Amino acid sequence: MFAVTAARIDAENPLSGLETGERPDPQTPAGWTTVTVKAAALNHHDVWSLRGVGLPADRLPMILGCDAAGIDADGNEVVVHAVLADPDAGGGDETLDPRRSLLSERYDGTFAEQVAVPKRNLLPKPAALTFEEAACLPTAYLTAYRMLFDKAGVQPGATVLVQGAGGGVATALVLLGRAAGYRMWVTSRSDAKRDAAVKLGADQAFPTGARLPERVDVVMETVGQATWGHSLRSLRPGGRIVISGATSGEVPPAELNRVFFTQLSIVGSTMGTRDQLGRLLRFCEQTGTRPLIDRVLPLASAAEGFAAMIDGTQTGKIVFTP
């Protein structure tokens, strides 16, 4: 089968390790099944894998890709949950299993004509969503769903600040939060990305680090070091930061005096459960919310999509179709 593979690790030039071509068809252990991929979406996780983050060289070659929608062995239209884990080991939450992984970390991923997954990782695709739309949901949009509706601890009408407009999770937060009735504010260094966020539904957009008109209830943080101080200063007393990434660095000054004096909460969030993905699918079906898609490319042109993500020139998800 045709697939897109991480063949080498190169932190400085990740595209040099990307290869396309024929790979063996997937094997299905007991309890697993095969999905014929109709659409698969690109994430920053795939670029980090080519840099060697979470994917050591001794696991290569590895088919990349976490997200997919397709047809299962029984002919059903399905969406793939990317988290491979044991819910029992996580106390009922597979994202808390210490041995959890994502597709393309220990097992071949979705950038192929077929992918093998545990049967429990499949959910029915709503008829209202195209394969391309459904394929965008299992990573960035599921991460945003969990941050907003599980970890944030606030009700619709609250003010939510999203750092780093234009990123995959940030875009998902704006779309989902707006549909659910939150007041969504965003920051970005880019005028174009701020304008794009407002067109998507953000109520206001501010330059990175700008003083806000008022303090917010929750900050959604994926940037990390570059925006951490601003996130702390932007919160009302008793407010909360939900963090699911640290793309600009992981060791900012903690400002512990501010944290305890104003009684702030800092909550980590990673991906989401299979049940949460099911609710996200229904949320999109019921509200009419759809993921923003930048472009759809044939899988053979995957390098073009990777290059756009590395350069930061895309707005929305990049989707591959085998």
The pLDDT, as a whole number, for residue 314 is 86
The pLDDT, as a whole number, for residue 61 is 97
Stated pTM of the model: 0.96
Residues 53, 56, 62, 68, CA torsion sign: negative
CA distances from 272 to 16, 137, 197 (A): 31, 11, 24
- Residue count of the chain: 322
As a whole-number percent, the residues of the chain with pLDDT over 70 amount to: 100
Q: Tell me the mean pLDDT in the region 262-276.
A: 98
Tokens of 205: 């957009």
- Crossing angle between the packed helical segments 168-180 and 191-200, to the nearest 10 degrees: 30
What is the DSSP secondary-structure string of 292-315?
A: -EEEEEEGGGHHHHHHHHHHT---
Cβ-based neighbour number of residue 13 at 10 Å: 11
Q: Show the CA angle centred on residue 169, arms to residues 230 and 15, nearest 5°.
A: 105
Question: Does the pLDDT of residue 313 top 90, yes or no?
Answer: no
pLDDT one-digit tens code per residue, 226-238: 999 999 999 999 9
Pairwise CA distance, residues 266 & 168, whole Å:
21
Sorted by where each starts, the structural domains of the chain and their CATH numbers stand as 2-136+291-321 (3.90.180.10), 141-268 (3.40.50.720)
Q: Which residues of 129-145 are buried (b: 16+ CB within 10 A; e: fewer)?
A: bbbbbbbbbbbbbbbbb
Pairwise CA distance, residues 82 & 41, whole Å:
12
Q: Confirm if 112 and 147 have CB atoms less than 8 A apart.
A: no
- Crossing angle between the packed helical segments 168-180 and 274-287, to the nearest 10 degrees: 60
Pairwise CA distance, residues 97 & 104, whole Å:
17
The pLDDT, as a whole number, for residue 315 is 85
Question: Could you tell me the pLDDT band of residue 82, with boundaries at 50, 70 and 90?
Answer: very high
Question: Could you tell me the pLDDT band of residue 247, with boundaries at 50, 70 and 90?
Answer: confident
Phi, psi (degrees; rounded to nearest 5) at 107:
-125, 145
Parallel/antiparallel/unpaired status of strands 204-207 and 265-268: unpaired
